[in-house]
């Protein structure tokens, strides 16, 4: 066990905040059983109190002890995808207090696979409440440096774990109702989930609250627009000071151009760092070339749509 991880577990036990790497994005962790620690987490995150937070565990059995009903489908998904980038929403047990569930009767459970996250969970022994380690509504961090830029001294320790391999937040499936519902698309696709539990429904207005579901989320500060490939050239010629995220080669009229991979997993891994770079370029607008409409791009499209929502829609 590394001394850093031991120190991190001590900080969590003392009610402090530790940012740690996961395979999706970096999380801002607090002892999920401590009301004070979670209150501090929400304050640093500037997250509204009624928004629930995902609770992280070292293994499935511990995770399921926070649920009062574990349907067969949840066990099958856990067996197939945990540890890994999947969050399950289940009816909560008495261990999941209002301060982690936002007062809802369900709880979000996740067993991450990143070795540093696993080591921390193992050393701490308990459950770690962890949203992404950024301020509410902004782009999630995929490196320790991003976390330090965003949260500075507000976090007691940042564990280093290299760039997050997947790059976008976990897939969230709600199994607390009659049929499974996909609340947030991610690396584990709808098709992969369906191959294990059968049909999965779209969220409805009755689905539980989740801040990833706010219209504008995961957003840069610079106004951003999604542009279909055929309209990119015209959009570029209309504007002076733009930063562009695209699949094609840089256009010489544009000062700041980031070229993205044509493969969805590689694109996702690069996405949040790219949005930060575009934001930092100091341009008036960001233009994002829209990715293909196919199923394998669903998670990336979801994040880009939210990043490109007009600011007035922020909740």
Query: Where do contacts with ligand TXA occur on this chain (CB under 6 A)?
Result: 22, 24-25, 27, 51-54, 87, 89, 101, 104, 106-108, 110, 112, 130-132, 169-170, 172, 183, 208, 210-212
Q: How far is the CB of 115 from ligand TXA (least distance, A)?
A: 15
Nearest residue to 115 via CA among 160, 173, 81: 160
Please count the other Cβ atoms lying within 10 Å of the Cβ belonging to residue 162: 11
Which residues of the chain form contacts with Mg ion (CB under 5 A)? 132
- Which of ligand TXA, Mg ion, none is residue 87 near (CB under 5 to 8 Å by kind)? ligand TXA
Q: How far is the CB of 196 from ligand TXA (least distance, A)?
A: 19
Centroid of chain to Cα 235: 30
CB nearer ligand TXA, residue 31 or residue 289: 31
CB nearer ligand TXA, residue 23 or residue 123: 23
CB nearer ligand TXA, residue 89 or residue 260: 89
**Burial (CB count within 10 angstroms: exposed 0-12, middle 13-18, buried 19+), residue 153:** exposed
- Which of ligand TXA, Mg ion, none is residue 170 near (CB under 5 to 8 Å by kind)? ligand TXA
Q: How far is the CB of 121 from ligand TXA (least distance, A)?
A: 11
Q: Are 285 and 241 in contact (CB under 8 A)?
A: yes
Contacts of 182 (CB under 8 A, 6+ apart): 171, 172, 173, 174, 190, 193, 200, 201, 202, 203
Q: How far is the CB of 238 from ligand TXA (least distance, A)?
A: 35
- Which of ligand TXA, Mg ion, none is residue 172 near (CB under 5 to 8 Å by kind)? ligand TXA
Q: How far is the CB of 103 from Mg ion (least distance, A)?
A: 19
**Burial (CB count within 10 angstroms: exposed 0-12, middle 13-18, buried 19+), residue 176:** buried
Q: Are 287 and 237 in contact (CB under 8 A)?
A: no
State whether residue 172 is helix, strand or coil.
Answer: strand
């Amino acid at each position: 066990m590394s001394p850093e991880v031991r120190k991190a577990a001590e900080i969590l036990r003392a009610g402090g905040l530790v940012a740690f790497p996961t395979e999706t994005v970096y999380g801002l962790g607090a002892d999920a059983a401590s009301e004070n620690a979670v209150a501090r987490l929400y304050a640093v995150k500037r997250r509204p109190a009624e928004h629930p937070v995902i609770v992280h565990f070292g293994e499935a059995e511990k995770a399921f002890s926070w649920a009062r009903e574990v349907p067969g489908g949840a066990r099958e998904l856990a067996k197939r995808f945990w540890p890994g980038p999947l969050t399950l929403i289940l009816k909560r047990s008495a261990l999941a207090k209002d301060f982690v569930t936002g007062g809802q009767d369900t709880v979000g459970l996740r067993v991450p696979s990143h070795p540093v996250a696993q080591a921390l969970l193992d050393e701490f022994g308990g459950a770690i409440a962890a949203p992404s380690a950024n301020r509410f509504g902004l782009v999630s961090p995929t490196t320790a440096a991003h976390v330090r830029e965003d949260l500075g001294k507000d976090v007691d320790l940042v564990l280093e774990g290299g760039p997050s391999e997947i790059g976008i937040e976990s897939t969230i499936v709600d199994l607390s109702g009659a049929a499974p519902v996909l609340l947030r698309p991610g690396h584990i696709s709808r098709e992969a989930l369906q191959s294990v539990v059968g049909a999965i429904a779209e969220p409805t207005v009755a689905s539980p609250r989740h801040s990833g579901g706010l219209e504008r989320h995961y957003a840069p500060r610079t106004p951003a627009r999604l542009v279909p490939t055929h309209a990119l050239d015209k959009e570029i010629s209309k504007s002076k000071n733009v930063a562009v995220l695209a699949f094609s080669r840089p256009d010489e009229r544009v000062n700041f151009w980031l070229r993205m991979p044509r493969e969805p997993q590689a694109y996702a891994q690069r996405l949040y760092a790219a949005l930060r770079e575009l934001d930092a370029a100091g341009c008036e607008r960001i233009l994002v070339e829209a990715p293909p409409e196919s199923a394998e791009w669903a998670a990336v499209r979801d994040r880009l749509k939210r990043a490109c929502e007009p600011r007035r829609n922020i909740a």
